[in-house]
């Protein structure tokens, strides 16, 4: 399976990086391909290192603007002109999307994927790994949208929440 992952480009505390590394090992040992932003920075670089070490393949979708931060060992590297084209490629190359902890870049990516899914423009599984309750606030907001009529489809048809790396794969294999 080609699994597109959105996650932080910054180096983070062990309580965030250890679950990300475990997720990456499961992805690699499961024979999957990591599709990601193609960077060597922070959690993005750690993820790529761990997937590669576990025998998985790497497809980087890097943007021209950040090409100086490109991960050197990807099996395939795509260079896009801008962030919009990169987001389109990250989705197009995915069989499923997984979201790890991240900042504004990650938030931008997940919002776009959910908005396109909301409109029926794709129906790929989206799983969010909620490490250390990092996404509690976002989940509360999404559940309120769901409960109060802001979404055209039930929230559980748009996204699944996992608390452990193993649970991410349970969602992906039953989706
Ligand atoms: C940290 C620095 C540069 C960051 N370089 C990036 N390279 C590739 N992709 C990136 C980069 N920064 C953001 N992205 C994309 O957004 C997500 C991470 O952003 P966040 O704000 O950290 O959550 C990630 O999924 C990428 O696709 C300078 O040293």
DSSP string, 108-124: HHHHHHHHHHHTTS---
Does residue 80 line the site of ligand 1, with CB under 6 A? no
State pLDDT tens for residues 55-87.
Answer: 999 999 999 999 999 999 999 999 999 999 999
Fold of 2-174: Rossmann fold (3.40.50)
Residue 175, pLDDT score: 77
- Of 11, 12, 20, 39, the one to substitute when testing ligand 1's pocket (max ligand atoms within 8 A of C-beta) is 39
Where exactly are the structural domains of the chain? Answer: 2-174
| Non-local CB neighbours of 73 within 8 Å, separated by 6+ positions | 48, 52, 58
Residue with tokens 């870049």: 105
Cβ neighbours, 10 Å, residue 29: 13
Indicate the pLDDT class of residue 174, thresholds 50, 70 and 90: confident
Looking at residues 86-107, what average pLDDT do you find? 98
State pLDDT tens for residues 3-45.
Answer: 999 999 999 999 999 999 999 999 999 999 999 999 999 999 9
State pLDDT tens for residues 125-168.
Answer: 999 999 999 999 999 999 999 999 999 999 999 999 999 999 99
């Amino acid at each position: 399976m080609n699994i597109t992952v959105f996650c932080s480009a910054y180096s983070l505390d062990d309580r965030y990086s250890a679950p990300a590394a475990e997720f990456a090992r499961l992805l690699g040992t499961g024979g999957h391909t990591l599709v990601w932003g193609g960077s060597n920075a922070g959690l993005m670089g750690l993820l790529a290192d761990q997937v590669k070490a576990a025998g998985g393949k790497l497809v980087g979708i890097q943007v021209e603007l950040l090409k100086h931060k490109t991960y050197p060992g990807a099996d395939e590297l795509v260079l896009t002109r801008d962030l919009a084209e990169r987001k389109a490629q990250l989705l197009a190359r995915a069989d499923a999307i997984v979201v790890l902890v991240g900042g504004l870049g990650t938030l931008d990516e997940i919002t776009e994927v959910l908005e396109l899914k909301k409109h029926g423009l794709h129906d790929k599984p989206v799983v969010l790994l909620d490490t250390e309750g990092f996404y509690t606030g976002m989940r509360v907001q999404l559940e309120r949208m769901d409960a109060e009529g802001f979404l055209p489809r039930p929230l559980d048809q748009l996204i699944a929440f996992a608390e452990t790396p193993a649970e991410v794969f349970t969602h992906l294999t039953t989706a």
